[in-house]
Chains A and B, each alone.
Chain A
Amino acid sequence: MYSGGDMDKVRELQEAVLLLQSHSTLREPATVAGSTGNMIARAFPGNRFPTSCMHEFISPAAGSAAATDAFIGGLLHTFLPPGNFYLWVQQRNLVFTPAFTQFGIQPDKLIFVTVRNDREALWVMEEGLKCASLTAVIGEVRELGFTESRRLQLAAEKAGVTGFVHRHCPRTTNVTASVSRWQITPLPSFTEKGFPGLGFPRWNAQLLKARNGKPCHWDLEWTPGGFRSGSVPAAQPSVHWRKQQTG
């Protein structure tokens, strides 16, 4: 067994190795992200959600694509500083920005670029990731090879911009250089017993891969306060949501 001093030394060494492995977020102070936010962050090395790197999302169906975009919105709000613009590269004009108010994002901070194919999308994403004035770049790309993902990852590390690649119905789920790979699927929402209506959005979030971290899966609910563990109904039911709808 290690003594306390040894443990500190081991942790220091681990952090040094992680820094070399391009986990640049370790240099920054840990983000305060609420209990469930911490739960997500604990899956990653140093108990910090990695920023300045690429995250990959795979959505096998249209419904899970909507859930993925919403989940990315939740991550942006929870783990990234507000204020600057986000670049959203899309190939279909699907995203409806007013929905992002519920994820705590000012919808006019999203800049959309609609391109025609993966090649153009990758070019725009790389240019966006090189621009340090952006907070994050979200890109809809179907196929992502290792070389392209490596380029994106290097650009993200260099400029300190966080990238999210959303791969909708990819042909192969090949190895990429992204720090994490997620799959989000919608789950039925909780409602108070005996009451009609819909609850808060609820998803099954699978962290399929996490570099130097522990792959996990959670049932998560998005409430106006942020992420909440969604495996049991909330003590306070989604009155807020219903109030929103009835005015």
Chain B
Amino acid sequence: MGKRFMSVLFPHLQADIYSRRHPQLRGTLFALAVPDQNRMRICSVSPGAQKEGIRPGMVVADARTLIPALQVFTDDVPDIVQSLQQLAIWALRFTPVAAADAPDGLILDISGCTHLWQGERPYADCIKQRLNQAGFTTCTGIGDTPGAAWAVVRFLPQCDILEPGMHHHILPSLPVAALRLDNQLAERFSKLGMYRIQDILHLPRQSLRRRFGSVPGDRLDRVFGIQAEQITPAVSPPEYTERLPCPEPVRTAVAVTAALETLLTQLCNHLSRAGKGLRHCILQVHRTDSETRKLELRTARATRQVQHLLHLFSLRIDQIDPGLGIELFTLEAALTEPLLPEQEILWAQQEQQHTRQTALLLDKIRAYLPQASVYRQLPKEHHWPDRSVENVPDVMQQPSTQWREDLPRPVHIFNPAREISVMVPIPDYPPVQFNYESRIHRIIKADGPERIEAEWWTGIIPHRDYYCVEDEQGQRYWLYREGHYNDEHTKWFLHGLFA
């Protein structure tokens, strides 16, 4: 089956968004204007004003002479790119690939989507109706290529769906501008008497390129599907995704669990066929009031066990606010990892079994307490204490280097280190007493210094001279002096507590 694309045109995009924000403007004559070379130029007009002859691009003063009562707003003009991006994300409920097509439309890749709506016409009607309800004026066009769909919606008002293959017959009779050429280029063609696409279709490409550059040739190839056109989706579709539309909006936790189980079973079946396991998945619920809610789940190791995943989700189902009802569930695998069937058999072995059980426990903790940090520390080859360990979330990861056992390190470490005031009578000797937590600690025993330099590439940080000291109560501390002793502002810090 060939590809099918839909182009959605918003002729009054900014004005529509503006009247959505200010409902009292609906149905009135108004225009939005932006400053342009010391004049106010209209950038978008309401449908009513358009009928009266106001066009985008007019100067506000000219428009006022046509309609003295025209309301012009210059503040808070909606941003086109951002609005189109939001609309493209909204359109994801109709197709997985939706892209903003600045300045005034969307391009949807609808291949294989329309049968869910019993055909292209009901599909297009549904989109138009939903957008109209939301207050947008729209036209849609469907064709075999993005270029054909674009041309249909803008240059063929009487027909909005080009049947497969028809673009070869219909498009050549359209004006040259239907090739998505800029005004300047279209004007040059018309000056030379080439008004329609058929006039340039059979020109030798070489001379076309010599006179007009590479753009018209490329556009021709793309419109007629000789060269495939890549569209950049607003949200790149994930590798694996499952959708479950609901015939009736659902609100209960039981229904959500049932939907989740269906989705997880489908997803895990697909993953199983591809030999992959899930590390990160996102459940999105689309509500009837056009809001979406997200639930993310990360696992400690790749898995495709439906029961385990369902259990993890079920810990957090109560966090989904169903609003007035959920009409569509999507479950996407944001991160997958190879998981071969052999690995599942290996799990039966004792040690693997323990690791797997531990991983399942960590999944549960992460799912129930998403804000809790779960980590292990692995050694890194750095002397600087803060950098000598690395926090990793993974239970499987093995240390890449040995733990050092030859240096005294404290059991508790303060991050950041706490500044203390000390008394040091002899340079380069440990202090005789220090003040910490409003108490004076007299140092009885001390050891050191152990000088630790920061790596030169991390910037100019003064070195540290670490001392292990013990006070009269027997508590052991790890102190350091920043920089050299004879510096003007020598600072001392308490970095940790020994056992």
Contacts and interface: CB of A to CB of B under 8 A. Distances in A.
B397 to A, nearest CB: 8
A186 B498 CA distance: 10
Given A186-B474, A186-B499, A196-B447, A120 B369 contact: yes
Contacts of B374: 111-114
A205 B284 CA distance: 54
A102 interface: yes
A133 B357 contact: yes
B408 A111 contact: no
A160 to B, nearest CB: 13
Contacts of B409: 96, 98-99
B445 A188 contact: yes
A241 B448 CA distance: 12
Contact of A112 (B376, B404, B448): B376
B377 A99 contact: no
Given A98-B379, A112-B377, A133-B354, A245 B499 contact: no
A107 interface: yes
Nearest to A130: B361
Given A101-B405, A108-B377, A108-B378, A84 B354 contact: yes
B361 A110 contact: no
Interface string A204-218: 000000000000000
Given A85-B395, A108-B378, A202 B354 contact: no
Contacts of B497: 62-63, 65-66
Given A127-B364, A201-B498, A101 B412 contact: no
B403 A63 contact: no
A70 B358 contact: no
A198 B470 contact: yes
Interface residues of B, number: 61
By secondary structure, the A interface counts as: mixed
B399 A108 contact: yes
A95 B385 CA distance: 13
Interface in A73-94: 73, 83-85, 87, 93-94
A18 interface: no
Nearest to B405: A101
B357 A132 contact: yes
A232 to B, nearest CB: 16
Nearest to B450: A245
Contacts of B376: 108, 110-112
B8 interface: no
A98 B372 contact: no
Contacts of A188: 444-445, 470, 472-474
A102 B407 CA distance: 10
Interface in B93-141: none
B468 A202 contact: no
Interface in A45-74: 62-63, 65-67, 69-71, 73
Contacts of B75: none
Contacts of A107: 377, 379, 389, 403
Given A108-B377, A132-B357, A188-B444, A244 B413 contact: no
Given A85-B358, A114-B372, A188-B444, A101 B377 contact: no
A112 to B, nearest CB: 5
B474 A202 contact: yes
B236 interface: no
B484 interface: no
A39 interface: no
Contacts of A97: 377, 389
B362 to A, nearest CB: 7
A66 B354 CA distance: 29
Given A114-B373, A124-B369, A201-B498, A98 B445 contact: no
B405 to A, nearest CB: 4
B496 interface: yes
A24 interface: no
Residues of A in contact with B, size category: 35 or more
B153 to A, nearest CB: 54
A94 B447 contact: no
Contacts of A95: 411-413
B415 A189 contact: no
Interface string B471-497: 011111000000000000000000011
Contacts of A182: none
B412 A94 contact: yes
A67 B499 contact: yes
Contacts of A84: 354, 358
A187 interface: yes
B499 A120 contact: no
Nearest to A112: B375
Interface in B366-415: 368-369, 371-379, 385, 388-389, 395, 398-399, 403-415
A72 B369 CA distance: 26
A99 B371 contact: no
A98 B415 contact: no
Contacts of B80: none
B95 to A, nearest CB: 41
Contacts of A196: 445-447
Nearest to A111: B376
A123 interface: yes
A116 interface: yes
A133 B468 CA distance: 37
Given A101-B403, A123-B368, 12 more contacts: A63-B473, A85-B395, A98-B404, A98-B407, A111-B374, A131-B361, A185-B474, A186-B473, A186-B474, A186-B475, A188-B472, A198-B476
For the complex of A and B, the 4 pairs showing the least CB-CB separation, nearest first, are A70-B499, A133-B357, A63-B475, A66-B497
Interface of B: 351, 353-358, 360-362, 364-365, 368-369, 371-379, 385, 388-389, 395, 398-399, 403-415, 437, 444-448, 450, 468-470, 472-476, 496-499
Interface of A: 62-63, 65-67, 69-71, 73, 83-85, 87, 93-102, 106-108, 110-116, 120, 123-124, 127-128, 131-134, 185-189, 191, 196-199, 201-203, 222, 241-242, 244-245, 247
29 contacts: A63-B475, A63-B497, A66-B411, A66-B412, A66-B498, A67-B411, A98-B407, A99-B411, A99-B498, A101-B403, A112-B377, A114-B374, A115-B369, A116-B371, A133-B353, A133-B355, A133-B356, A186-B474, A186-B499, A188-B444, A188-B473, A188-B474, A189-B474, A189-B476, A198-B408, A198-B446, A199-B445, A201-B499, A245-B408
